[in-house]
Amino acid sequence: GAGVSQSPSNKVTEKGKDVELRCDPISGHTALYWYRQSLGQGLEFLIYFQGNSAPDKSGLPSDRFSAERTGGSVSTLTIQRTQQEDSAVYLCASSLNRGNEKLFFGSGTQLSVL
Amino acid sequence: AQKVTQAQTEISVVEKEDVTLDCVYETRDTTYYLFWYKQPPSGELVFLIRRNSFDEQNEISGRYSWNFQKSTSSFNFTITASQVVDSAVYFCALSEAGSNDYKLSFGAGTTVTVRA
């Protein structure tokens, strides 16, 4: 499709397991973002990729979280040794260029850690 | 510190009523951008508007209108003659100028329910 694609849409895991969340941005978009949405709260910035530049990882909540973007396209957010407080919706977005532009969001991955 | 405050958690209206969503922001920058996004039940946030800090003109797009007031640091959003399809969570967001201008600070969102 033409939009931002995220998979899986839902993920249930046990505490302590690792999970991988995938984001396929809109073709040609150089900027890619991950945000986390916890119940009843706004979106929390996690990480930003822009082209071949080093990503801004300042929003990652702990060293259990990491993300990669391969070939300037698909991105994977990995959470190691998941905890119950990691339960949230993880949203990916992309934009044509860097900066404060219109973001195109995916439908998110609902992560539930039991 | 909370940079964007959406004081209304939930609003419920009957179809055809007008509804106004409040957004108050906090920044020391003179250059910044304000946004509204809509999140329908499908979960995908949809961009509605971006306004820069130097443009205080109010904007109207169909049934949607925005009132930007720098004096009160507010960027309120009004839906006129609401429809059931307007039911969603609406987020206000702020982007401050500078090297981190790509970081959006979101409010907690306002859930709007429009009843037929």
For A32-67, how does the pLDDT look when each residue is reduced to its tens digit (9 = 90+)?
A: 999 999 987 789 999 999 988 889 999 999 999 999
Cβ–Cβ of A100/B109 closer than 8 Å? no
CA distance A63 to A66: 7
Q: Residues B84, B17: contact at Cβ < 8 Å?
A: no
End-to-end CA distance of chain B: 38
Q: How confident is the model at residue B99 (pLDDT cuts 50, 70, 90)?
A: confident
Short-list A2, A11, A18, A1, CA closest to A108: A11
Task: Select from A100, A101, A107, A109 the residue whose CB has the most chain B CBs within 10 Å, as the one to mutate to test that interface.
Answer: A100
Q: How confident is the model at residue B1 (pLDDT cuts 50, 70, 90)?
A: low
Task: Select from B2, B42, B44, B100 the residue whose CB has the most chain A CBs within 10 Å, as the one to mutate to test that interface.
Answer: B44
Q: How confident is the model at residue B100 (pLDDT cuts 50, 70, 90)?
A: confident
Q: Which residue on chain B is closest to A109 by alpha carbon?
A: B43
Q: What is the pLDDT of residue A80?
A: 98
Helix (H/G/I), strand (E/B), else coil: B85: helix
